[in-house]
Each structure stands twice: as C-alpha cells, then as structure tokens.
Structure 1
Amino acid sequence: MSDQQPQQQTKKVLFACIQNAGRSQMSAALFNLHCSNKGWTAISAGTNPATHVHPAVVETMKEKGVDLTNNIPQKLTLELAQTATIFVTMGCGDACPYVPGIKIVEWQIEDPKNKPAEQVRLIRDDLEARIIDFIKQEGI
C-alpha cells in the first residue's frame, strides 16, 4: 500500500492566438494575476509563434506589474491543447485544434502587433476586464 496521497491536478486555461506574442500572453498573465484559486493556472500558445513577445506588450504589461520580458512564444499543439480545462481562442480560427470534451471560448480581440502603446493599453484593459468577468462567470 502506498502512503502517498493523490495529488490534486491543477486545472488549466489555455489562451491561444496566432503568434503568442500579444493577446494570449497578456491574457494568461492577467488570469494568473487575478485568479486567487490556487487550483487553476493559465498558459498561452500560438498557431504560428513569433520569436518574441511584442515590445509594446512587454512595456504595457510592466505598467500592471507583470514582466513578460523573458516569455518565449510557444507552439500550440494538439497535445498542449489536451492539457487544458478551458480553451480560449483569439483569432486563430480553424488553425486552432479542436479538442473534444474541452470547453472552448472564442474572444474577438484586436491584435496588438505593431500598434502604438496607447492602443495596446486599450487592448490590455479590455482583456483585463474580460479576464475578471471570465473568472467570475466560470466560478474560478
């Protein structure tokens, strides 16, 4: 008989967009910032990942006390998607994998790529409001 107790598995929200360099990075960071339920975490990925997070995204997230400087965009794979409890897509359309049994939510969010900081702040603030509402709606 094992004396190890079963580990409680962390539930995961996967935020996905095309490059994983803007919207999904901000969403995962804001979810993790606002989620007080230690049984949940957020990750992000992209269907065609960039080499780095957009500089304006890094700068505007620092204003919220979140440093994305060392984040590296990652590839959205079926295997990664299958680890999610909830899958939030933002503009990746048919390129996002379909995973039976996982709740999928689609958000229409403007891509911050090549946008001035003022516009990226608006996108960030929209995402933050959505994240706070999402956490409440999902009972997280």
Structure 2
Amino acid sequence: MADGARKRRILVVEDEDNIAIALDYLITREGYEHDRVASGAEALGRIRSTHPDLVLLDVMLPEVSGYEICQGVRLDPTLAHVKILMMTARGSAIERKKGLALGADGFISKPFELKALREEVRRLLGEGG
C-alpha cells in the first residue's frame, strides 16, 4: 500500500461468531480496517454511517436478510461506491442469481477457502494479487 493511502474499510455482516472470527483474522492479516455487525437490522444504518469500501454480507441474518440489505444499499445513491460480497451456506445457482440481480458484486459459498475469499476481496477492491 502506498504511503498516505487510505486504508480500505470492510464491514462484516455475519451473525455466526466462528465465521466472523475467521473473517476478522483474514481481514486483519490483509491490513484492512474493519467492523462487524451481527444482525441485519443494524447493517444498513452502519453502512450508511461508515460508507465502507466493501461489505461482506451473510444472506441468512436475524431480522433482515442479506438480500434486503443489498437491495437497500443499491437503492441509496450515496452508497453507489460500496461493493457487496454476499456469503451463503446455500450456494445454489438460484441464490447466486438472486444476489447478483439485487446488485451484489460477488457471491461466495460457505464454507469458503480463505484463499478464495482473499482473492475475491482483492478483486472487488481493485487490488491485484
């Protein structure tokens, strides 16, 4: 990263602690700033207040689904720059299609390989590697 460059900020929206811990480890190792919310109800407000570069968004969340959050982000023109990587344990073609149709920038199935996730995060943030 170039000196003086702003650190990329990632928001993790994940209700399962063990997955959030693995994501925390990966994101910290990659040198990104990050934050986490565990419920869908909190997610949209946090995205609007922090304007992260990337949201790692679980599909299955308490209260509000990842699909609804994705749609809410895409309907807000002030959040047009926010990239969304959806994560789901039900990684069917239909789930992927629905997520991408609602404006997700990427889709990854759980359990995921950390290497695959790291590559997807870098791709969405426009970084080589």
TM-score, normalised with respect to structure 1: 0.48
Q: Find 1:133's aligned residue among 95, 119, 125.
A: 119
Matched positions, count: 90
C-alpha distance 76-9 of structure 1, shift in aligned 2 (>3 A): farther
Q: Give the CA deviation at 1:20.
A: 4.7
Partner of 1:26: 22
Question: Does residue 1:107 correspond to 2:96, yes or no?
Answer: no
Which structure 1 residue ranges, 5 or more long, are not aligned? 1-6, 49-74, 111-121
| C-alpha RMSD of matched pairs (Å) | 3.1
In structure 2, what is the Cα distance between the partners aligned to 1:129 and 1:104?
A: 18
> Identity percentage over the alignment?
9
In structure 1, what is the Cα distance between the partners aligned to 2:17 and 2:68?
A: 16
Q: Specify which structure has the bigger relative contact order, considering alpha-carbon pairs within 8 angstroms and separated by 6 or more residues.
A: 1
In structure 1, what is the Cα distance between the partners aligned to 2:117 and 2:84?
A: 15
Q: Give the CA deviation at 1:32.
A: 1.2
Partner of 2:38: 46
**Aligned amino acid, residue 84 of structure 2:** I
Q: Give the CA deviation at 1:79.
A: 3.4
In structure 1, what is the Cα distance between the partners aligned to 2:16 and 2:113?
A: 15
**Cα offsets for 1:1-59 (capped at 9, x unmatched):** xxxxxx86432111212x252323321321212x1xx5x322221116xxxxxxxxxxx
Whose helix fraction is larger, Structure 1's or Structure 2's? Answer: 2
C-alpha distance 31-24 of structure 1, shift in aligned 2 (>3 A): same
Kindly report which structure 2 residues correspond to 1:1-140, keeping only aligned pairs within 5 A, or say none. Answer: 9-17=6-14, 19-33=15-29, 35=30, 38=31, 40-47=32-39, 76-82=42-48, 83=50, 84-91=52-59, 92=61, 93-94=66-67, 96=69, 98-99=72-73, 100-101=79-80, 102-109=82-89, 123=111, 126-137=112-123, 138=125, 139=127
TM-score, normalised with respect to structure 2: 0.51
Larger radius of gyration: 1
**Cα offsets for 1:54-100 (capped at 9, x unmatched):** xxxxxxxxxxxxxxxxxxxxx73433213111111122324536333
